[in-house]
Structure 1
Amino acid sequence: MSIRRATPDVRATDMEASLDFYRLLGFHEAMDLGWVVTMVSPSNPTAQVLLMGPDAEQLQPTMSVEVDDVDAVHEAMTAAGADIVYPLRDEPWGVRRFFVRDPSGAIVNVVSHR
Structure 2
Amino acid sequence: MTQTPQPQVWPTLRARDARKLIAFLVEAFGFEETAVYGEGDMVAHAQLSWPLGGGIMLGSGREPTEDNPWNLSPGTFGAYVVTDDPDALFARATAAGAEILYGLRETDYGSREFAVRDPEGNLWSFGTYRGEPRKG
TM range (shorter): 0.3 to 0.5
TM score, norm. by length of structure 1:
0.45
Larger strand share, 1 or 2: 1
TM score, norm. by length of structure 2:
0.39
Structure of greater relative contact order (alpha carbons < 8 Å, 6+ residues apart): 1
